[in-house]
Amino acid sequence: MSYGEDLLQRREAVVPAAVARFAGKATAESASGAIITTVDGKELIDFVGGIGVMNVGHGNRQVLKAIQEQAEKLTHSCIHIATYQPYIELCEKLVKLFPHAEGPHGQTKAMLVNSGAEAVENAVKIAKQATGRSALVSFSEGFHGRTLLCSTLTSKTSLKAGCGPFVPEVYRLPFPNYFRYNDGLTQEAFVDRELHRIRQMFINSVRAEDVAAIIIEVVQGEGGFCVAPKDYLTGLRKLCDENGVVLIFDEVQAGFCRTGKWASYDHFGVKPDLSTWAKSMGGGLPISAVIGKAEVMDAALPGTCGGTYGGNPIACAAALATIEEMERLDLNARAIEIGKVVEERWQGIMEKSEWAVDVRGLGAMQAIVFGQYGDRNTPASGMVRRALDASLERGLLAIPAGAEATTIRFLAPLVITNEQLNEGLNILEEEVLKSIAVECRQASDSTLQAPG
């Protein structure tokens, strides 16, 4: 038995299955750039980045240096007890990078916590206090984390099975996924229909006057990298303004250079009232942020937000160094380059096999969607799982996305070399095509064996 298999067995003995494994038998001993070395000493090209966390790359020297230097000075004092420089410096940086308020007098504020889910929790608490309202609206295929509130906001039922009762007063709209829900409409007519649906919701399901916030991922992460149409976001912004509803953009997976911009909403010229950030912001350390218009942020009462470890000094130092590295390496430009390569290669798979039904995303946040024999409504989850397991055997770490795990997503560190990128894409393409062939063969064998 390999050390890796032994480790997985030890995991099974002490870690509950609820802490799921999404990447088969992968293990990790160390990592550098876009390469993870397993506990058995095998090198894996990393197309996952710890689920969108490592945009700046594993083992970035500047980030490590900042962590070490900060650890020597101060590891913890709690922002609620003694104010420290890295927390303030990071918030100053965030409000500069992501101004939410318009006009010369508009002010933006930021607060720090530890995870994406915590950022969403805090954003919702702020929105509720700012509006004095209780209802929330989220979207189908949306994902916002695993606390009870975030599970409620999340769409995918398998991720919250048996965890109810959920938080009351959460309503769900279909995500404006043109690919899935277009019903033959033009994009313009589709957007009109979806915006009309929100107005109808205010009449039939929940009064606008009772809605504190609408939370949306501009580019869905776990949901399968669907991109909301620009006109939908513009219309949503207008509806929120007209009805005093706080608009929250969840940038946890799409933010910090993944899409080729600091914020995915920067592609569309639509700004939220509040936004949530985590993952790649910390370069591997647990840190997250809520950023928002000062008038909204300041509506929350002292003591209602934050927590013991929120904005830990070491995590803040890591985030500051991460952002600096993103600027120095121009990772936004690199994300665009990488995204083009991935998109082109995956369009190539679409040309080779009818099973590939869509390639979508923004910048380096790319996904390829599969449907059995080209039927977009019949998930090809088994085929995808087999292809990913076989890819892992050959040295590529990749994971699925989407409610039915019928999509493969690309979240590699943006420091990946062209050679590593191409090698990873070659492995994936070969294994996907092989897996499709296996599936077709099995189907034809079972037809031949079926009793006449």
Ligand X SMILES: Cc1ncc(COP(=O)(O)O)c(C=O)c1O
* Residues forming the site for ligand X (CB under 6 A): 51, 115-117, 120, 143-145, 217, 221-222, 250, 252-253, 278
* Separation between Cα atoms, residue 294 and residue 325, nearest integer Å: 28
Measured from the CB of residue 50, what is the shortest distance to ligand X in angstroms? 10
CB proximity list for 418: less than 8 A, separation 6 or greater: 341
Q: How far is the CB of 107 from ligand X (least distance, A)?
A: 25
340, amino acid identity: K
Tell the smallest beta-carbon distance from residue 13 to ligand X (Å). Answer: 25
Q: Which is nearer to ligand X, 254 or 432 (CB)?
A: 254
Distance of CA 362 to the CA centre of its chain: 12
In residues, how long is the chain? Answer: 452
Identify which of residues 4 and 223 has a Cβ nearer to ligand X in the complex.
223
Q: 122 or 131: whose CB is closer to ligand X? A: 122
Provide the minimum distance between the beta carbon of 120 and ligand X in the complex, in angstroms, as a whole number: 6
- Which of 21/352 has CB closer to ligand X? 21
Task: Give the contacts of 208 (CB within 8 A, at least 6 positions apart).
Answer: 202, 243, 244, 245
Q: Least separation, in Å, of the C-beta of 153 and ligand X?
A: 9
Estimate the crossing angle of helix 418-449 against helix 331-352, to 10 degrees. Answer: 30
User: Cβ of 280: how many Cβ atoms within 10 Å?
Assistant: 30
Least Å distance between CB 378 and ligand X? Answer: 26
Contact 135, 212 (CB under 8 A): yes
Tell me whether residue 290 or residue 396 sits nearer to ligand X (CB atom): 290
- The smaller minimum CB distance to ligand X, of residues 8 and 290, is found at 290
**Considering beta carbons, is residue 267 or 345 the nearer one to ligand X?**
267
CB-nearest residue to ligand X: 116
Which residues have a Cβ under 8 Å from the Cβ of 252 and sit 6 or more positions away?
116, 119, 120, 144, 145, 217, 221, 276, 277, 278, 279, 288
Q: Write down the least CB distance from residue 375 to ligand X, Å.
A: 28
Contact 296, 127 (CB under 8 A): yes
Q: Looking at 187-263, which runs of residues are DSSP E strands?
A: 211-216, 246-250
